[in-house]
Amino acid sequence: MALPACAVRAFEPPRQPERGAPARTTCPRRHSRVEAELAASRPGSVAASVRAGPPRGVSHGFHTRPLLDKPRKASSSLAGAACAPLFALLSRGRRRRMHVLRRRWDLGSLCRALLTRGLAALGHSLKHVLGAIFSKIFGPLASVGNMDEKSNKLLLALVMLFLFAVIVLQYVCPGTECQLLRLQAFSSPVPDPYRSEDESSARFVPRYNFTRGDLLRKVDFDIKGDDLIVFLHIQKTGGTTFGRHLVRNIQLEQPCECRVGQKKCTCHRPGKRETWLFSRFSTGWSCGLHADWTELTSCVPSVVDGKRDARLRPSRNFHYITILRDPVSRYLSEWRHVQRGATWKASLHVCDGRPPTSEELPSCYTGDDWSGCPLKEFMDCPYNLANNRQVRMLSDLTLVGCYNLSVMPEKQRNKVLLESAKSNLKHMAFFGLTEFQRKTQYLFEKTFNMNFISPFTQYNTTRASSVEINEEIQKRIEGLNFLDMELYSYAKDLFLQRYQFMRQKEHQEARRKRQEQRKFLKGRLLQTHFQSQGQGQSQNPNQNQSQNPNPNANQNLTQNLMQNLTQSLSQKENLESPKQNSGKEQNDNTSNGTNDYIGSVEKWR
């Protein structure tokens, strides 16, 4: 029986490569590759028949015959070797791995071909669409239809860039809440930053009658002199934030020196080694931790002037300032702070020259701190200093016997404390409210004639706002802090009236400046007109008499010019006044700002 050609060739000695063929190498892989190329180059060989078929993948189109997962079975091994591909002689496991790799390669080539053709079709369609649009818009100037291959690639790149930007925008800014998608922000006018900070109406009805001296707060603070600002810091009222503003956010000739890692800053007067600010972040707790009004008024002069003789002490003006907060929010914030381990044990509570005894001021807890206490236990303690803290820290405790509750009845004691706190608050140089940050900034700047670098930020989400309480607990907290509730209502009314009074005074000052500017322009116009008229008459007196037989013509002309100028300036003032006085009634236009505001208060009441 005759053997197949491939079998006979396998028993023959190796042939020498033909002329021009690559030489043999010692590398077995390259040696086998060279033999395969030689076999493929001979016409009629099995390798040539295999190579003559379509290549793998989709290089010849999508209608290529599907590849077989298994090689065709032959009647005998020799016949199969003659008719099947060369890799049929390999082992079964090796053939299986080669088929898996071949199928993966075919799938990747198919996907790449589909993606390429799809993008090409998309670019072609977009090219025609844009060509039609440009042809309608620009007419004969459009030559999009004659785009070359580079233009197609550029158009495809732009489309892909646009799709990528859309995907990134969806990841970075999902939904319709994104600020970038709010086109109204670009078209809406800038709102007044001082209006409706607490989401309430900008209009309020005053409850108390205050004099001009109570509303007008203008402190002649001389930072180069001996005046001193004293900050009374009440717990959990936002005093830490305001204290940082005082040392880091004020435009000064000599700013405070604040070092990294240190809470205290050095706030010296220009050209002196003396501080102008008495606060936590400038002098520390020199009079005790969170010293109240009673402690500060008796401690600050001695701390500032030291052991200097009283006759040699300079005549200083101590300007006291503080910040108040809604009593319920402040109470809940202090409870959360105590839960985290705060005790304020270092507070001295010095009154009338001595601290209170343990019988006068018992403690609500027995351990090192009161951490983890529930709200009910916090409210049940009758000696809790969190109850009516703002009234107690702003009043003069010497009027009620300090912390000795047996000096007078409780009702009388509460009345004296409340009246003392109201009086001290009203006569303070400045006080602000946590719920009105921008108004607080405005009043401080107008009071002390000192400007902040960056505006204050209103935080409506705090630890106290995260506490969910029912109506019953809120009523109980208000009952425990009934003195603070009345003091805060009084302070809020005084604060808002001061703000409106200062705003009206500012608008009236601006109106007065416009009137002075109008008078100045009138005088300049008349002076220029009369000078030009006098020069003309001095040069040609006869000609002027012949041309102007009526001597009253110049006066009429001058009056017409004055009337036109007055009307134009008045129209300009009428157009500007509604913008500056938005949200306020302008019924009374008297020159006295105090009478105007007081009259408005009487009308509102």
Instruction: Write out pLDDT tens, residues 186-239.
Output: 444 445 555 555 544 456 788 999 999 999 988 999 899 999 999 999 999 999
Q: What is the average pLDDT value for the chain, to the nearest integer?
A: 76
> How many distinct structural domains can be found in the chain?
1
Q: Say what the pLDDT of residue 68 is.
A: 43
Higher per-residue pLDDT: 553 or 253: 253
What share of the chain has pLDDT > 70, as a percent? 61
Contact (Cβ atoms closer than 8 angstroms) between residue 491 and residue 434: no
User: Phi then psi for 494, rounded to 5 degrees?
Assistant: -65, -40
CB count within 10 Å of CB 312 equals 7
Please check whether residue 107 lies inside any domain of the structure. Answer: no
Quote the CA–CA distance of 134 and 140 in Å, as a whole number: 9
Going by pLDDT thresholds of 50, 70 and 90, the confidence category of residue 266 is very high
Q: Say what the pLDDT of residue 142 is.
A: 44
Q: Say what the pLDDT of residue 159 is.
A: 78
Please check whether residue 431 lies inside any domain of the structure. Answer: yes
Please check whether residue 111 lies inside any domain of the structure. Answer: no
Q: Say what the pLDDT of residue 461 is.
A: 74
What is the average per-residue pLDDT within 546-555? Answer: 51
Instruction: Take residue 105 and report the two structure tokens written for it.
Output: 């390669």
Instruction: Take residue 222 and report the two structure tokens written for it.
Output: 């001389």
Q: Say what the pLDDT of residue 536 is.
A: 63
CB count within 10 Å of CB 379 equals 18
Largest interatomic CA distance in the chain: 149
Q: What is the pLDDT of residues 351-377, one digit of tens each?
A: 999 999 999 999 999 889 999 999 999
Please check whether residue 142 lies inside any domain of the structure. Answer: no
- Residue 602 in 3-state DSSP? helix
Contact (Cβ atoms closer than 8 angstroms) between residue 481 and residue 332: no
Quote the CA–CA distance of 89 and 211 in Å, as a whole number: 112
Please check whether residue 60 lies inside any domain of the structure. Answer: no
**DSSP H helical segments within 12-143, as ranges?**
28-41, 46-51, 77-83, 92-138
DSSP annotation of 68 reads: P
Residue 296 identity (one-letter amino acid): L
Answer whether residue 249 shows pLDDT above 70. Answer: yes
First to last CA, the chain: 128
What is the average per-residue pLDDT within 588-602? Answer: 48
Q: Which of 290, 319, 337, 349 is catalytic?
A: 290
Domain containing 376: what range?
211-305+314-511
**CA torsion, ordered 481, 485, 488, 490, to nearest 10 deg:** -140
Q: Say what the pLDDT of residue 50 is.
A: 44
Instruction: Take residue 97 and report the two structure tokens written for it.
Output: 């791995």
What is the average per-residue pLDDT within 516-521? Answer: 87
Please check whether residue 370 lies inside any domain of the structure. Answer: yes
Q: Say what the pLDDT of residue 112 is.
A: 74
What is the average per-residue pLDDT within 245-255? Answer: 95
Please check whether residue 64 lies inside any domain of the structure. Answer: no
Q: Look at the block and give the residue holding tokens 């600002």.
A: 229
Q: What is the pLDDT of residues 520-540, one digit of tens each?
A: 888 888 888 777 777 766 655
Going by pLDDT thresholds of 50, 70 and 90, the confidence category of residue 492 is very high
Among 279, 241, 195, CA closest to 434: 241
Answer whether residue 254 shows pLDDT above 80. Answer: yes
What is the average per-residue pLDDT within 415-420? Answer: 97
Please check whether residue 86 lies inside any domain of the structure. Answer: no
Going by pLDDT thresholds of 50, 70 and 90, the confidence category of residue 566 is low
Q: Say what the pLDDT of residue 355 is.
A: 94
For 78-94, b/e burial (b = at least 16 CB within 10 A) is eeebeebbeeeeeeeee
Higher per-residue pLDDT: 3 or 277: 277
Least confident of 198-202, 544-548, 580-584: 580-584
Q: Is 290 a catalytic residue?
A: yes
